A = this chain, B = another copy of it.
Amino acid sequence: MSASAAKVSRKENSNHDGADETSEKEQQEAIEHIDEVQNEIDRLNEQASEEILKVEQKYNKLRQPFFQKRSELIAKIPNFWVTTFVNHPQVSALLGEEDEEALHYLSRVEVTEFEDIKSGYRIDFYFDENPYFENKALSKEFNVNEGGDPVSKSTEIKWKAGKDLTKRTGQTPNKSGKKRQHEEPESFFTWFTDHSDAGADELGEVIKDDIWPNPLQYYLVILLRQIKPAENGDFIKVVIKASQCLP
């Protein structure tokens, strides 16, 4: 069917655009004008994106000294990061017992958003000397390649002999004896070798967008418990740090 034949049949099927019917030529002109107007809208969208990026860059700079100060303070608190991760529901689900043991040596975490590329960021994990691997730092970096596709890359972990946590099975043994429905990642550290979903890396985004903006709230998971009403009718509130209740 030719384009014009199709168009005619479409019009015949329609029963309400008779009176103010516009000619084929006028319609074609209207489409061309819409295209021009659309180019103006697209140009404004690009300008808006650029301005928003500049605001974000400005505030990234302004926040930097506070992040620096926060890192120095966090360094004074033993086990700050492992406690924060254990208290975070999504991250804790990824942690085997030995992962948690290894993360006791995690002394510093840094999230850096790149200035030049909108979607790029890097997460650096600094470790004390530990029995698991030789690296002092492990990083994972998210970026876009030349073709515009999201990619990620990581530090190669130099495991000490017999300590490769990504090669252990049964870190969290399945006591029921049933076969697992689908293979779960065995270790938090498999994240460093998994580059399958660089555009929407779940752990990366949780750390960047949820933990990094305010890690203290996870370190201090506060349970607010209402105890029996006091004499005057008020409630007595008891605040317990959940992180300190864990065995």
- Mark A residues whose CB is within 8 Å of B: 1, 3, 6-7, 9-11, 14-17, 21-22, 26-27, 30-31, 33-35, 37-38, 40-42, 44-45, 47-48, 51-52, 55-56, 58-59, 62-63, 66-67, 69-70, 73-74, 76-79, 104-105, 128-130, 213-214, 216, 219-220, 240-241, 244-247
Q: Is the CB of A79 within 8 A of B37?
A: no
Task: List the 6 shortest-distance A-B pairs measured between CB atoms, nearest first.
Answer: A17-B78, A48-B59, A30-B76, A3-B244, A6-B244, A51-B55
Once bound together, how far apart are the Cα atoms of A1 and B6, in whole Å?
A: 79
Which residue of the partner chain B has the closest CB to A240?
A: B3
Contacts of A214 on B, CB cut-off 8 Å?
38, 41-42
Given contacts A16-B130, A69-B37, A216-B38, contact A77 B30 (CB under 8 A): yes
Find A22's partner among B31, B33, B51, B77 (CB 8 Å cutoff).
B77
Find A245's partner among B3, B31, B69 (CB 8 Å cutoff).
B3
What secondary structure prevails in chain A residues at the interface with B?
helix
Contacts of A63 on B, CB cut-off 8 Å?
41, 44-45
Supply 11 further A-B pairs (C-beta < 8 A) apart from A11-B78, A33-B73: A3-B240, A6-B244, A10-B246, A21-B78, A22-B78, A34-B70, A37-B66, A45-B63, A47-B59, A48-B59, A51-B59
Contacts of A42 on B, CB cut-off 8 Å?
214
Report the minimum CB–CB distance from A139 to chain B (whole Å).
21
Contacts of A105 on B, CB cut-off 8 Å?
16
Once bound together, how far apart are the Cα atoms of A48 and B9, in whole Å?
A: 54
Q: Is the CB of A70 within 8 A of B52?
A: no
Q: Is the CB of B247 within 8 A of A216?
A: no
Find A76's partner among B22, B44, B213 (CB 8 Å cutoff).
B22
Once bound together, how far apart are the Cα atoms of A247 and B17, in whole Å?
A: 18
Contacts of A66 on B, CB cut-off 8 Å?
37, 40-41, 44
Once bound together, how far apart are the Cα atoms of A76 and B34, in whole Å?
A: 11
Given contacts A73-B30, A220-B31, contact A48 B41 (CB under 8 A): no
Contacts of A219 on B, CB cut-off 8 Å?
31
Find A27's partner among B6, B77, B130 (CB 8 Å cutoff).
B77
Q: Is the CB of A16 within 8 A of B213?
A: no
Q: From A77, A213, A216, name the one whose CB has the most chain B CB atoms within 10 angstroms.
A: A77
Contacts of A22 on B, CB cut-off 8 Å?
76-78
